[in-house]
Structure 1
Amino acid sequence: MSDPIPESTLPYPPVYKDKRFVVLTDWDGTITTQDSNDYMTDTLGYGKDKRRAGNLSVLEGRRTFRDAFREMLESIVANGHSFEECKEVLRKNIKLDSGFKDFNSWCKANDIPVVIVSSGMAPSIRAVLSNLDDEEAANAIDIIANDVEIHPDGKWNIKFRHPSSGYGHDKSRAILPYKDLESPPLLFFFGDGVSDMSAARHADILFVKQKDDGENDLAAYCNREGIKHIIFHHFSEALGVVQSVVSGEKTPEEVLAIGKA
């Protein structure tokens, strides 16, 4: 029996019905060099040790991502940090993958939409995306994420897209509508962590980012579940793989068999 479809509290951008290829990508730790919410929790909230313990409890199935993530953000609010302060901290400290700008430009030039699918909050993503130094390109990227609610007293909380889902944002709901199209595009998905688990098995070609700090929860999940994926370190590496598939030089099966970019 399949899980019930979670009701979304937030709108979705239109599905790209006439494209041959679509890129859907996680934001934190994938497009960025480190997870912005982890960074906030480690520096402004209850710290890395408790945050990491929460991540592992999700990976092991003892807690939902939604509840662990909410607790992380609540620790930041409890320490008196406003959302505007958090956005500024992220804008100054979170960097984009060095290859993402060229990757995004190539996709745009080849009529391949790039859609950010994130368990973070859209306003904080836009704040960091402004570092792309190309306002037009930054604004053209669709973002499917959670939102934020800011209260009169200055406190804030995350507004989950799918509050009834254990993920808070079930990323598979950004992928599955493409599968129902008469002529579905080939879907590339890029991710790195526990929030990407719901999307992992639905991608045609799954890229899993190897992070410099050694944390690789999505790879651990995929290895455990037998989900084929490609390990990459930077989008500059992944671009060559995507180009080989788009040109027809290689099939999805061939690139997945190699397992690394």
Structure 2
Amino acid sequence: MAPAHKAIVFTDFDGTITLKDSNDYLTDNIGYGPEKRREGNIDILENRVKFRDAFKEMLDSVKKPFPECIEILRKNIKLDPGFKDFYDWCLSEKIPVIVLSSGMEPIIRALLTDLVGPHADQIKIVSNQPKFLDPEGNEWTVEYHDDSDFGHDKSLAIKPTANLPKEDRPVLFYCGDGVSDLSAARETDLLFAKYGHDLITYCEREGAPFTVFKTFEDIHRDIKDIMENKTTIDEVASRHQRAKDAAKAAE
């Protein structure tokens, strides 16, 4: 029996599908600012604090009503220039795209609808939620998806498919940019890690295989070539290391 889908693309949302992270944007412009946020990111990378604790502290510093936060983000968050064409191709190829996010579902859904269009409602979202502390949403905090150190262990959404028998299992891809993406990436066949972001640092330190992307145009090209048997997952996964080795040899 053939798999229900030939491939599934799991992807982070903030800073991956979008050019800016919506949670970072709120923290930097309304919350306690970029310096303190970056300090928290470094503490996470160095395993001094749990992601869930630092992330909640970030969002709790944002003192504006939740509906107002959504409107601010709708005016300021832009889509990766290659994502819409990639998503349209996935629809035509019947390849599901599933968002796994540490962000909050109402924000993600609003931004996807604005940036991708009505057919964005076919994108499944597995994420955290806002917890409203009053009926109007003037005061709110993040309500985590699970009890993990990340608040949302993204790997949990992938494992049921990853553990299928080989004949029933689609090819699994993951696209991300941050430390919270690593557990999910380990359950898939190929990780696309965004150039210049913390996930690359973490993968190199942990010895986790990956390839680098700058925009979804890179992801679109590579996944299309893999699915059309023009290249292999191993060839794509080894590209970053080959480039590093070549640069070192040229020194």
Structure-1-length-normalised TM-score? 0.87
Q: Say whether the 8 Å CA contact 1:228–1:256 is kept in structure 2.
A: yes
1:103 to 82, 86, 89: 86
Name the counterpart of 2:124. 142
Separation in 1, partners of 2:44, 2:183:
12
Separation in 1, partners of 2:240, 2:228:
19
Name the counterpart of 2:247. none
Secondary structure of the corresponding residue to residue 134 of structure 2: coil
Give, in angstroms, the shift of residue 174 of structure 1. Answer: 1.4
Mapping for residues 52-131 of structure 1, pairs under 5 Å = 52-77=38-63, 81-131=64-114
Report the AA paired with residue 188 of structure 2: A
RMSD in angstroms over aligned alpha carbons? 1.5
Separation in 2, partners of 1:199, 1:60:
19
Unaligned runs of 5+ in 1: 1-16
Unaligned runs of 5+ in 2: 244-251
Q: Say whether the 8 Å CA contact 2:78–2:115 is kept in structure 1.
A: no
Secondary structure of the corresponding residue to residue 69 of structure 1: helix
Separation in 1, partners of 2:17, 2:8:
16
What are the superposed Cα offsets for residues 87-125 of structure 1, whole Å, 9 maximum, x if unpaired? Answer: 001111000101100000001100100000100000010
Separation in 1, partners of 2:116, 2:40:
34
Name the counterpart of 1:9. none
Name the counterpart of 1:203. 188
Name the counterpart of 2:209. 228
**Is 1:48 the counterpart of 2:34 in the alignment?**
yes
Separation in 2, partners of 1:250, 1:194:
28
Higher deviation after alignment, 148-157 or 84-93: 148-157
What are the superposed Cα offsets for residues 195-228 of structure 1, whole Å, 9 maximum, x if unpaired? Answer: 2122122220100112xxx4x1100000011111
Give, in angstroms, the shift of residue 131 of structure 1. Answer: 2.0
**Is 1:157 the counterpart of 2:149 in the alignment?**
no
Separation in 2, partners of 1:201, 1:114:
18
Give, in angstroms, the shift of residue 151 of structure 1. Answer: 2.4
Secondary structure of the corresponding residue to residue 61 of structure 2: helix
Secondary structure of the corresponding residue to residue 128 of structure 1: helix
Report the AA paired with residue 176 of structure 2: G
Structure-2-length-normalised TM-score? 0.91
Identity of aligned residues (%): 48
- Matched residue count: 236
Name the counterpart of 2:175. 190
Q: Say whether the 8 Å CA contact 2:10–2:173 is kept in structure 1.
A: yes
